Amino acid sequence: MITNTFPQVITANRVELEYKQPASIELCNLCKKYGTKSAVDNINLEVFGGEVFGFLGPNGAGKTTTIKMIVGLLQPTSGTVKVAGYDMQNQPLKAKISSGYVPDTPNLYSKLSARELLQFVGDLYSMEPRQINRRIEELLRLFSLDDVGDNLIDTYSHGMQQKVSLAAALMHDPKVLVLDEPTVGLDPKSARLIKDVLRQFANRGSAVFVTTHILEIAERMCDRIAIINEGKLVAVGTLDELRSVKQGETSLEDIFLSLTGGAEEAEIAEVLR
């Protein structure tokens, strides 16, 4: 029987050592309570420019609550969030200008075209008109939306809307990109495109913070991984670091299940098969 015991893994980050820069996302003693229930319980975490950081956990673990505090949609009960060095509570505009956010469900202005939406986003961030026009064309071409860029968003499929949402988040070239389940409902080609875009974005020195339930994606794409369970951070590290501590388990799925209490159910399912 696999038991759910695992020391928190926090190690020197390779990106910090390589780039000698402060954290792009810094969570310090972050808590969010609803009455007596702690949705997020005293999280301390740093994410650095140049890395794709995976934030994993079962349903109800506190992932989306954490993300909403990072992007300023929720106020913490206690603790602090810094984005690109700016305190989200004390310097919210500077923190939000430095970041882009893609929610799990696209929430777009359906009666605008993709081109009009990106123009609107560019204006919101006070981008120069020439820069806006150039960026719109680059992003529409990147996501294969140039042929439908003038069609209304409510005529788009879910996958196309997901691409528009990511394009809008990338419009102002943020230092930090936060994504909640970005590949849900996408066909393999679109999912691969988004994974490649995120990798390239990180390679340019920006930070990518992403949640996903598809562990194969996290295993292949993420430089470091954090696992949250019942509001508490239970592990942080590279996949090799997690393997070295959880000896005998080589896949991220096995490590994840052993940390989040799903290992017993997985063993039962295996026996029944």
- Backbone φ and ψ for 78, nearest 5 degrees, come out as -160, 165
Distance from CA of residue 219 to its chain's centroid? Answer: 14
184 and 66 belong to one structural domain: yes
Beta strands in 52-169 (DSSP E): 52-56, 78-83, 86-87, 99-102
Distance of alpha carbon 108 from alpha carbon 93, whole angstroms: 21
Find all residues with CB under 8 Å of 158, minimum gap 6, and list them.
106, 185, 186
| pTM metric for this prediction | 0.86
pLDDT band per the 50, 70, 90 thresholds, residue 190: confident
- Give the strand order in the sheet containing 224-229: 99-102, 176-180, 207-211, 52-56, 224-229, 232-237
For residue 179, the cross-strand partners are 102, 210
82 and 186 belong to one structural domain: yes
Task: Name the residue with tokens 């495109």.
Answer: 193
For residue 241, the cross-strand partners are none
Mean pLDDT of 161-189: 91
161 and 223 belong to one structural domain: no
Residue range(s) defining the domain that contains residue 267 = 1-98+177-190+202-273
Q: What's the mean pLDDT when you consider all of the chain?
A: 86
Report which of residues 216 and 152 the model is more confident about.
Answer: 152
**Residue 195 included in any domain:** no
DSSP state of 36: T
181 and 166 belong to one structural domain: no
Alpha-carbon distances of 65 from 54, 156, 180, 225, 251, rounded to whole Å:
15, 28, 11, 18, 27
